[in-house]
Structure 1
Amino acid sequence: MFELNPLNLPDASLQHLVMGVVTLVLGFIIGYASRQNLVRELESQLAIVKRNVEDCYRTPAVVVSSGNDEASVLNRISSRIHEIDFNRIGYASLAEADDLKEIVGVGPFLEKKLHAISIYTFRQIANFTGEDIDQVNDIIEFFPGRIQRDNWVGQAAQLAKKSNL
C-alpha cells in the first residue's frame, strides 16, 4: 500500500544526482570563502612581520659591552655618527677643535662624547636646530632637555664670535 522506498520513484536517480551536485557546489563555495579569509589573515600577519624586519634593519646596531667604561661608551656613541646632518651644522676636524668645556654644562667626558660624533667647534653647536639638539642629546646619552636649559647654542654662538675676533 504505502511504498516509502524513494528508489521506486521514476525520477529518484535524477533527484540524487541534483542533490549531490548542489552539495559539491555549496561545499566548494564555503571552502573557497573560508580559504580566502585564511589567506587574508596570513597576508596581514606577513605584512606586520615585514615591517618589523625593516625596522630592525633601519635601527643601528648597538655594540653591547660588559661594562660602562669610557671606551665602550665612546664606541657606542660614535657608531651613531651617521644620524647627524653635518651638511646643516658644518664639518670640522680635531685640528680645528675649540675647547668645548668653555660652554657651561660641558665637562671633559661630555667633550669627548661630542668629539666622538665629530662635533669639535663652537660654530657647529651654534648651528644646531631643535631637531639637532634632540638628536645629539639622544646620541650622547645626555639628560633630556639639558642642552636647551644650559643654552649651548647661544653660548656657542657668543664663543664663536669671540674666537673669530
Structure 2
Amino acid sequence: MFDLNPLNNSNAWWQHVLMLVGAGILGYIIGYRSRRGTIAELEEELAGLDEQLDDCQKSQKNVAPPEGPAVTVPPVAAEAEQPAPLPVMEVPAVVAPEPMDTIVAPVADLPAAPLKHDNLKIVEGIGPKIEQLLNKEGIITFRHLSEATNERLVDILRAGGSRFHMHDPESWPQQAELAADCKWDELKARQEALNKGRQS
C-alpha cells in the first residue's frame, strides 16, 4: 500500500514537498475567500464615511443665515385720518435719583453667554477621552486649543494618567488654529503628513 513513513522509503522527500505545497495552496484559497468579503465590507464602510465627511465639510463651509420671504410694509397714506392725541397729565417726580454706581452692575456680575463646544476630536491624535480631559481644563474650542502651550497640554495628559503619556500634543495647536480659521483643506493636508498625531 501507499506508505508515507520516510524511514521505510528513501525517496519520501517528494511526498513531504507535495503535502506542504497542497497545504499552502489550500490555506491561500481559504484566506483569500474569507478576506475578500471583509475587504469589500471595509471599503464600503470607508466610502460611506468619506461621503459623511464631505457632507460635513460642505455644510460647515456653506453655513448662511436662513433667508425668509421679504416683508414689505405698505406705505401710509398721507390723507389718512389721524386720531386725536390723548391728553397727557404731568405728575411731579418725587423719587430722588440714585447714584450712578448703584444702577450699573459690574461687568463681572453679568452672566456670560455659554461658549459653543467644538469637536476637538477633529484634531489628529485627540480621541474622546483626551477631549474630556481638555474640556475639564477649560479647553473647549479650537481657539482655546490653538492658544494652549505644549507644556500645558503635556501637563494635562500627565494628570490624566499613565495611559495618556504616549500621546504627543506638539501638533495639536497648529491643527486647532487651522480648524478655528475654517481652513479645512490645509488641515487635511497637515493631518496627512502626520503619523497618528505625531510629527513625521
Please state which band the TM-score falls in when normalised by the shorter chain.
0.3 to 0.5
The TM-score with structure 2 as length reference comes to 0.31
The TM-score with structure 1 as length reference comes to 0.36
Structure with more helix by fraction: 1
